A and B are shown apart, each in its own frame.
Chain A
Amino acid sequence: MKKLHLILLIASAALLLVAPNFLKNYGIYLLSYWLVFIIATMGLNLTVGYAGQKSLGHAAFFGIGAYTVAILMKAGFSFWFGLPAAALICFAVGLILGFPALRVQTIYLAFATLGFNTAVWLVMRNEEWLTGGTFGINNIARPELLGLSLEGNLAYYYFVLAVTVILALLLWGLLRSPWGKAFTALRDNPIRAESLGIDIRRYTLLSFAIGAVYAGIAGALFASLVNFIEPAPFTVASSIMMYLMVVVGGPGYFLGPVLGAAVGVILPEWLRFAQAWYLFVFGAAVVLLMIWLPDGLLSIPERLRAKRQAREASAARAAAAQQAASQAKQLGAQA
C-alpha cells in the first residue's frame, strides 16, 4: 500500500471515530444511515461493478433483510438471531434471482430484476398479516451487545461502523482471492472465461447471492436504526438510487460505494438550501457526472494518469521527430 493511501486510511478512520462526538443526534443518525447504504451498495458493487450483472432489484433484498429482522423481533426472537437469518434468507433468494441472469443479460436482466423488486414490494404492501402492509412494523428495538445497550444513537453508530468495517474487510479478502479475478473475468468476457474453466454459472449466481447478503444485513441494520419500517424505502426507485450510488462512486472500485452512498445520502442534506430546486440540482449533477465521468468519481486519478501518459508519449514523439529533422538537416549541410 502506498504511503498516501495509508495516511488517507488513517485520517478517514480517525474522522469516522471522532467526528460523531461533535455532531448532534441528527448528524449521527445521518452518518449511520450513510454506513448502512455503504454496506448495501458494497454488495451491489460486487454484483454490478465486479461481476457485471445488471441488477435493479437490490432494494428488494434490503427490504427482505429489514422485514426479516422486524418480523422475527416482533415474534420474540433476538436481533442476533434475526441478523444471520436475514443474511441467510437473502443468500437463498439472491441465488434464485441469479437464475434469470444465466439466460438473459444487460437491459433484459435489469428488467427481470426490476420485476422481482416489484413483486417483493407488493408482498410487503399487501400481505398485512405478515408485514403490516402500508402501516408497516413499528417499535423495532435496537439490540444489546455483550450487555451494552446500543439504544443510543452514538452507540448504534459505532456498532454499524464496526459491522461496515468487518464486511468491507471480508469483501476485500474475497476480491483479492481467485474469486475476485473470476468475477472480473465473468464481467469482462464470459465466453473467454468459460473457455478457461471458469464456471460462469456458479459465479453469476454467487455474485447475486453475496450481493444480496450485504443488502440483507444492511436492511437489518436499517430496521433497527429507524425503528419503523414500511414498504416505501424498498421500491424499484430505491433500487435505481442504489444502482446510481454504485455508478457515481465508480463500479468495480472497492471504495466506490463509500463515495456513491455519500452522494446519495449526504449530498441531498447539503442541498437542502436549494429547497424546491434540490432535485433539479441533484439531477443536473448526475447528468454532468455521467457525461464527464462515466466510470464514476473514483476513475478521476486513473483518467489523470492516462492523460499524463498520453502527454508524455506525444512529447517523446515530438522530441524524436525534432531530433530526426535536425539530423537530416546536418546530413544535408555536410553533403
Chain B
Amino acid sequence: MSQSLDTLLPQHTHHHDRPQGAPVLKVSGLKKAYGAIQAVGGVSFEVRPGEIFGVIGPNGSGKTTLFNSMLGQITPDEGRIELNGEDVTQLGPLELNRRGVGRTFQTLQVFGKMSVRDNLIVAAQEHQGTMFSRMFAPTDSGLGEKADALIDQFRIRHVAHKKAGELSYGQQKLVDIAMAFMSEPDLVLLDEPCAGVNPSLVGGISTLLKDLNHNPRFGKRSSFVVIEHNMDFVMDLCHRIMVMVEGKVMAIGTPEEIRGNKQVLDAYLGN
C-alpha cells in the first residue's frame, strides 16, 4: 500500500486501444473518516480520456464513500480531486454535472411520471442555453433527435412514450443509464449498473457501455468509472481495475494483471 501511484500503474497492457493522454480525473491522497472509521484512507488514481476504469472491493472497502466524494455529495477530509486539470474537490453534484460529469445510481432513479423520452430530454436540457432562454425554448429543448438516437441505441423504442414508472426493472435500468449519457459527459460514474438486473441483460448492458465508450457521435470518448460486484462484467468491460480493501488501494491494473495478482486473489477474488 506504500507503493507510489506510478508503480501501481501497469506499463504494458493487452488492450491495444488503451487510452492515453492527460487524465480526465485525477484523485490524489483522498481520505474520509466517519468518526473512528477511516472509510477511505488515502486513495490515488487517474482515469484517462476514453478509459473504462473499474473499482472493485468487498463490502465496506470504501468504494461508495470514494464515489460520493468524486460526485460532490460528501466533502473529503483530505486529498484532491481534479477534473480535466481543475480542482473540483469542493464542488457539489450540480457544478460537477455542469462540468461534464454524468452518473447513475445504485438504485433506480428515473422520473416515474414522465415518459421515457422526456426522461432523456430532461437529463440534458439544463445544458442548453440559459435559465431565462429555457423558459421560451421548445418543449424538447431541441434534444428530441438526440433522445431518439439513444432510445434506438438502447432498444427502448417500443416504450419511448410510456411513463418510465410503468416499465419493468430492466427497462428502467436502461433508461437510467441512457439518461447519464444524454448530456455527452466527459466522465460517467456508474454505480453498480448491473445491480438487480436479470443476468440475460448484463451482457447487453456491457455491449451498450462499450458502444457508448466508442461512440463517434460524441466526437470524443467518454471515460467511465464503474463500481460493480459482477466480476465477469468488470473484467470484460474495463481497461483497468482498481481493487480497494479497507479504504485503501490494493492494486491497480489491467483485468489480466488483477486476475493474476495473488494478493488480490487472497483478499477478494479468492472468496
What is A's interface to B at a CB cutoff of 8 Å?
174, 176-182, 184-185, 188-189, 191-200, 202, 252
- CB nearest neighbor in A for B179: A196
Please name all residues of chain A whose beta carbon is closer than 8 Å to the beta carbon of B112 when the two chains form the complex: 188
Q: A192-B111, A197-B126 are in contact. List 10 more A-B contacts (CB 8 A).
A: A177-B138, A179-B135, A182-B134, A185-B114, A188-B113, A192-B105, A192-B110, A195-B105, A199-B126, A199-B131
B interface size (C-beta, 8 A): 34
- Flag whether B254 is at the interface (Cβ < 8 A): no
Interface centre among B71, B114, B125 (most CB of A within 10 A): B125
B122 near A196 with CB under 8 A, answer yes
- Flag whether B34 is at the interface (Cβ < 8 A): no
Shortest Cβ gap from A222 to chain B (Å) = 28
Shortest Cβ gap from B147 to chain A (Å) = 12
Please name all residues of chain A whose beta carbon is closer than 8 Å to the beta carbon of B93 when the two chains form the complex: 191, 194-195
What is B's interface to A at a CB cutoff of 8 Å?
71, 92-94, 97-98, 102-103, 105, 109-114, 118, 121-128, 131, 134-139, 141, 179, 183
Shortest Cβ gap from A189 to chain B (Å) = 6
B97 near A182 with CB under 8 A, answer no
B135 near A196 with CB under 8 A, answer no
Interface centre among A185, A193, A197 (most CB of B within 10 A): A197
B127 near A197 with CB under 8 A, answer yes
Task: Specify which of A191, A198, A199, A200 is in contact with B109 (CB 8 Å cutoff).
Answer: A191
Q: With A189-B109, A195-B71, A197-B127 given, is the CB distance from A181 to B103 under 8 Å?
A: no
Q: Tell me the bound Cα distance from A194 to B121 in angstroms.
A: 15
Please name all residues of chain B whose beta carbon is closer than 8 Å to the beta carbon of A182 when the two chains form the complex: 122, 125-126, 134
Q: Tell me the bound Cα distance from A200 to B139 in angstroms.
A: 19
A181 near B136 with CB under 8 A, answer no
Q: Tell me the bound Cα distance from A252 to B112 in angstroms.
A: 14
- CB nearest neighbor in A for B129: A178
Please name all residues of chain B whose beta carbon is closer than 8 Å to the beta carbon of A179 when the two chains form the complex: 134-135
A198 near B126 with CB under 8 A, answer yes
Task: Specify which of A174, A176, A196 is in contact with B123 (CB 8 Å cutoff).
Answer: A196
A195 near B118 with CB under 8 A, answer no
A181 near B121 with CB under 8 A, answer yes
Q: Tell me the bound Cα distance from A268 to B235 in angstroms.
A: 68
B111 near A195 with CB under 8 A, answer no
CB-defined A-B contacts under 8 Å, sample of 12: A174-B135, A177-B137, A178-B137, A178-B139, A179-B135, A181-B121, A185-B111, A185-B114, A188-B111, A191-B93, A197-B124, A202-B131
A196 near B139 with CB under 8 A, answer no
Q: Tell me the bound Cα distance from A79 to B80 in angstroms.
A: 59
Shortest Cβ gap from B14 to chain A (Å) = 34
B97 near A197 with CB under 8 A, answer yes
Q: Tell me the bound Cα distance from A194 to B131 in angstroms.
A: 15
Interface centre among B111, B112, B121 (most CB of A within 10 A): B111
Q: With A195-B97, A196-B179, A197-B127 given, is the CB distance from A177 to B111 under 8 Å?
A: no
A196 near B126 with CB under 8 A, answer yes
Please name all residues of chain B whose beta carbon is closer than 8 Å to the beta carbon of A180 when the two chains form the complex: 139
Shortest Cβ gap from B92 to chain A (Å) = 8
Please name all residues of chain B whose beta carbon is closer than 8 Å to the beta carbon of A199 when the two chains form the complex: 94, 126, 131
What 4 A-B pairs have minimum CB-CB distances, sorted nearest first? A197-B126, A197-B97, A192-B109, A181-B122
